[in-house]
């Protein structure tokens, strides 16, 4: 078969959990004997708006199209891109894929999906975020406050106008209704999609896979009976990931002794005299297992609605406890007061209390970590994921 992946971003132009997921799938599907192409936006490659460039690597043909001028989430160009639609149409006519599988579509718009549907090519959309209903992707307003999950139940403070929001929603809904199958990385995101109008019979859960190189610790690290409690933050230097929340919470954790917080990939900043926070550079995915094994508790203070949370799963697989905000994705694997603690999103005081409880009560830490070790979560391998997708593609294509 020939499979075309459509994605707003793709490594190495832009690297994130979602883009690495798409690349792994493209390369694994190609390695299994299928022809694979990727149409991706390019924001740092120096391409002019709509300019195209082809590259080949990893057994995959990549067609880049410049989109740097369309990253502003509040402009029509972010969700209406006739140049991307034209590029998709040209590729569809020249290469004639059997299936088109779209992922994140901000900057490209939904036009490539409509172009495939116009040609009666089966289409799949994986929702890595909530772009179809929220131009800011994560249902969080400009003041970093979570919005209602049902977007039809409230006004949108971020939209340029109510009319603009309605027009955008209506046009995207028409395209989404033409998609053959919608996939969500978690049941939580599936439920949000259904609440916002997706037919429940047309959407399925398709969990992300975990790169074996990033979760290769063969035996979970034993819980420490002595020494400081080792908290870990790996969300990066972005307000939506809650970096300011976790640093503010660290200032409130009591006692001040007996714990440390390692913060990766965040610019060093003042957090207060005597607050035991260590700022460390970002690490490569291959070093994930090593980083996890040097910690006791992963802290996920995310304000964004997380569609999956790879970090939560990697941490639990390594035998760590997890303290997370109630941001959807992590909650599917973190059971409050069992293998971790769940706190309200954006609540600095609640996060500080949770961290303080673990720092002050070694028996609580041991119990949470023991639950993670004794009841390990199942992790999907890239090969398993690719095989499942190929079976789905075959069914849709009738091959």
pLDDT at position 218 is: 45
CA 125 → CA 136, 198, 249, distances in Å? 19, 12, 38
**254/25 Cα distance (integer angstroms):** 44
Rounded to whole angstroms, the Cα distance separating 88 from 327 reads 34
- Sheet of 123-126: strand order equals 52-57, 60-66, 35-42, 2-7, 99-102, 123-126, 181-184, 203-205
Output the DSSP codes for 146-212.
Answer: BPPSSGGGS--SSSS-HHHHHHHHHHHHHHHTT-SEEEESSHHHHHHHHHTT--GGGEEE-PPP--G
* CA separation for the pair 197, 203 (Å, rounded): 11
How many residues are there in the chain? 399
What pTM was estimated for this model as a whole? 0.90
Beta bridge partners of 62: 38, 55
Residues 199/205, Cβ–Cβ less than 8 Å: no
Sketch the domain layout of the chain as residue ranges.
2-209+380-397, 213-374
Give pLDDT tens digits along the chain (399 positions). Answer: 999 999 999 999 998 889 999 999 999 999 999 999 999 999 988 899 999 999 998 899 999 999 998 888 778 888 999 999 999 999 999 999 999 999 999 999 999 999 999 999 999 999 999 999 988 888 888 888 888 888 775 677 677 677 888 889 899 999 999 999 999 999 999 999 999 999 999 999 999 998 776 555 545 566 666 789 999 999 999 999 999 999 999 999 998 899 999 999 999 998 888 899 999 999 988 899 899 999 999 999 999 999 999 999 999 999 999 999 999 999 999 999 999 999 999 999 999 999 999 999 999 999 999 999 999 888 899 999 999 999 999 999 998
Cα gap 38→11, rounded to integer Å = 11
Cα 342 to Cα 323: distance, rounded to the nearest angstrom: 6
Would you tell me which CATH number, out of the four given (3.40.50.2000, 2.60.40.1730, 3.30.200.20, 3.40.630.30), belongs to the domain 213-374?
A: 3.40.50.2000
DSSP state of 155: -
Please answer whether residues 106 and 69 qualify as being in contact, where contact means their C-beta atoms are separated by less than 8 angstroms. Answer: no
2-209+380-397: CATH number:
3.40.50.2000
Q: What is the chain's Cα-based Rg?
A: 22
Report the SS3 class of residue 350.
helix
Two domains, one topology: 2-209+380-397 and 213-374: yes
């Amino acid at each position: 078969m020939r499979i075309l992946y459509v994605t707003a971003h793709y490594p190495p132009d832009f690297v994130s959990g979602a883009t690495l997921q798409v690349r792994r799938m493209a390369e694994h599907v190609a390695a299994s004997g299928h022809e694979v192409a990727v149409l991706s936006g390019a924001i740092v490659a120096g391409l002019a708006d709509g300019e195209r460039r082809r590259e080949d690597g990893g057994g995959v043909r990549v067609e880049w199209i410049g989109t740097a001028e369309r990253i502003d989430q509040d402009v029509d160009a972010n969700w209406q891109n006739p140049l991307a639609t034209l590029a998709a149409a040209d590729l569809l006519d020249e290469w004639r894929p059997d299936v088109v599988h779209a992922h994140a579509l901000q900057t490209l718009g939904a036009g490539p999906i409509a172009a495939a549907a116009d040609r009666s090519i089966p289409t799949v959309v994986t929702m890595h975020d909530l772009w179809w209903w929220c131009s800011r992707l994560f249902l969080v307003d400009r003041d970093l406050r979570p919005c209602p999950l049902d977007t039809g139940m409230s006004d949108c403070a971020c939209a340029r106008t109510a009319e603009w929001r309605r027009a955008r929603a209506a046009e995207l809904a028409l395209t989404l209704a033409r998609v053959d199958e919608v996939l969500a990385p978690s049941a939580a995101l599936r439920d949000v999609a259904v609440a916002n109008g997706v037919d429940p019979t047309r959407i399925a859960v398709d969990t992300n896979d975990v790169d074996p190189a990033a979760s290769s610790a063969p035996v979970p690290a034993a819980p420490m009976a002595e020494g400081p409690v080792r908290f870990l933050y790996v969300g990066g230097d972005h307000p939506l990931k809650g970096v300011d929340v976790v640093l503010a919470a660290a200032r409130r954790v009591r006692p001040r002794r007996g714990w440390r917080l390692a913060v990766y990939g965040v610019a060093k900043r003042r957090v207060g005299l005597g607050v035991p926070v260590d700022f460390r550079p970002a690490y490569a995915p291959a070093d994930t297992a090593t980083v996890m094994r040097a910690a006791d508790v992963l802290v996920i203070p995310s304000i964004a609605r997380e569609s999956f949370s790879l970090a939560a799963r990697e941490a639990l697989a390594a035998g760590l406890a997890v303290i997370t905000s109630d941001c959807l994705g992590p909650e599917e694997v973190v059971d409050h007061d069992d293998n971790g603690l769940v706190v309200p999103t954006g609540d600095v005081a609640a996060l500080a209390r949770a961290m303080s409880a673990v720092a002050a009560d070694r028996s609580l830490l041991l119990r949470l970590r023991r639950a993670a070790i004794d009841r390990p979560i199942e992790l999907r391998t890239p090969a398993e994921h690719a095989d499942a997708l190929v079976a789905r593609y075959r069914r849709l294509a009738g091959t």
